[in-house]
Amino acid sequence: MTLKKVPGRFITFEGIEGCGKSTQTRLLADYLSSRGLKVLVTREPGGTRLGEAIRKLLLDPANAGRIDPRVELLLYLASRQQLLAEVIIPARAAGKIVLCDRYEDATLAYQGAGRGLGMEKIRRLLKFLPLRVQPDLTLLFDLDPAEGFRRIRKAKKTLDRFEREKLDFHRKVRAGYLRIARAEKKRVKVINAALPVKEVYRQVVKIASQTLSSNLTR
């Protein structure tokens, strides 16, 4: 594979809680780095000093029921604008492959579908933002929320503000994600996250390699 010549690219990782996307982000980063590619891993909300401060506010269980959903939406957008300005845009310009644990689809799925603010309304709002970069590829790790919950409860002692949301909320989020995937088949690839980690990883590498290689001929 001629991955070495790949210029700056942007791959995002999405899915409900417990879907394993953060693990797969790290695994893909290791894979690409081991092939001599320049990779930058970041996450949302967060990835900058300001973004990490916003992340704390958003995930703090003490804020449960205390953040208006519209303000929650704006805080995610603020964190993302800072991340784009400070990290994503410069890294891409420097020819790096940027792997981002969550991005715009999370806003559409969580705030649009989960909180009920409306996916189309948010899509329209996103168009007005000063900074935007379209991912070359989005990997959606699809999982039944009940299984996601089982995994999280096993792995964590304290649950964050979103992990405390009811199963019904996470079902709406999952449905939102799948709706995006149906509408944008070229960009969004759905992976069955119920499969063993190794098999999920095999699919991630295959799909990411295809995207990165095909980008060479663009």
Point out which residues bind ligand TMP (CB under 6 A).
17, 43-45, 76, 102, 106-107, 110-111, 162
Comparing CB distances to ligand TMP, the nearer of 40 and 212 is 40
| Beta carbon nearer to ligand TMP, 101 or 212 | 101
Closest approach of Cβ 37 to ligand TMP, in Å?
A: 24
Minimum CB–partner distance for residue 22 and ligand TMP (Å) = 6
Instruction: Tell me the closest approach of the beta carbon of residue 97 to ligand TMP, in angstroms.
Output: 20
Per-residue 3-state assignment (H helix, E strand, C coil) for the chain? CCHHHCCCEEEEEEECCCCCHHHHHHHHHHHHHHCCCCEEEEECCCCCHHHHHHHHHHHCHHHCCCCCHHHHHHHHHHHHHHHHHHHHHHHHHCCCEEEEECCHHHHHHHHHHHCCCCHHHHHHHHCCCCCCCCCCEEEEEECCHHHHHHHHHHHCCCCCCCCCCCHHHHHHHHHHHHHHHHHCCCCEEEEECCCCHHHHHHHHHHHHHHHHHHHCCC
**Shortest spacing between CB 66 and ligand TMP, in angstroms:** 15
Closest CB to ligand TMP among residues 3, 159: 159
Considering the complex, state which of residue 8 and residue 45 has its C-beta at the smaller distance from ligand TMP. Answer: 45
